[in-house]
Amino acid sequence: MFKHAIVRKPCSEMVDGLTTAQLGTPDFALALKQHARYVGILEECGLGVTVLEADARHPDSTFVEDVAVCTPQCAVIANPGAPSRNAEKESMREVLGKFFDRIEEITAPGTLDGGDVMMAGNHYYVGISERTNREGAAQFLRIMQKYQLNGSLIPLKKVLHLKTGLSFLEKNNLLITGEFLDNAIFKRFNRIVVDEPEGYAANSLWVNGKVLVPKGHPATKGRIERAGYTAIEADVTEFQKLDGGLSCLSLRF
């Protein structure tokens, strides 16, 4: 179970954030509303939410998941692979220091985005992507070994981050879509397949037995409910315009 979440309010400069989605420019006022509701849902799921002030120096800084990985044993400060985002890690080190006794760090030439790390119990899957390189992933797995945790590397072909196409929902349940469907490494899970038209909902978020699902993905929501979860819809269209999903907007621990 998670007790805490850390989020960062979006800044008005988010309209200049990195994106490959061709969904238009985010509406900042609407993004603020959606973000506030997201925080409310996390609180309804029992989390104490630390809301960091907007950071105008970094348009993508609301996507805090990429800046660190929180495990039950330690926090790992990531080394974000996009140059415009790398310095986001500086303030997160200080924030996480209030919650964790043990802070580890990914260092150059290694790069790693937290969105490329999926925790499944004691096993950590790490995507090798345009943001996370082999050196960064190897450093991460060495850190996990120190804490008797293990992991596997998953080279990505199309998606931005590993968790763009996969979400672990506990109890061995895995939401899975696209390029990961054929990967034998994921055959050991109870797979909840997300069909391509709803591919964005593969980034849904387990929080203490409930699952946040992006609004407007009814087939996936139904499958999650049939797997035994209460599904809570969250509207995150303005973050989708920047390639961001539900998990990207928080760190949970």
- Burial environment of residue 22 by CB neighbours within 10 A (0 to 12, 13 to 18, 19 or more): exposed
Interface of this chain with ligand CIR, residues 63 to 102, rule: CB under 6 A: 63, 65-66, 82, 85
Closest by CA to 18, choosing from 51, 78, 66, is 66
Q: Which CB sits closer to ligand CIR, 162 or 232?
A: 162
User: In Å, how far are 70, 121, 142, 243 from 169, measured between CA atoms?
Assistant: 17, 10, 25, 21
Q: Does 104 bind ligand CIR (CB under 6 A)?
A: no
Nearer to ligand CIR, 19 or 208 (CB): 19
* Residues paired with residue 122 on neighbouring β-strands, in sequence order: none
Spatial distance between the Cα atoms of 144 and 38, rounded to a whole number of angstroms = 30
Q: How far is the CB of 101 from ligand CIR (least distance, A)?
A: 25
Give how many residues touch ligand CIR by CB under 6 A: 18
Judged by CB under 6 A, the chain residues 41 through 60 that form the site for ligand CIR are 60
Annotation says 4 is catalytic? no
Coil, strand or helix at 252: strand
Q: Is 248 a catalytic residue?
A: yes
Residue 1: is it exposed, middle or buried by C-beta count within 10 angstroms (0-12/13-18/19+)?
Answer: exposed
- Residue 242 makes contact with ligand CIR by CB under 6 A: yes
Binding mask 6-45 for ligand CIR (x = CB under 6 A): -----------xxx--------------------------
Q: Using CA atoms in the order 61, 64, 65, 69, what is the torsion angle rounded to 10 degrees?
A: 120
Binding site for ligand CIR (CB under 6 A): 17-19, 60, 63, 65-66, 82, 85, 115, 160-161, 164, 242-245, 248
Positions marked catalytic:
161, 248
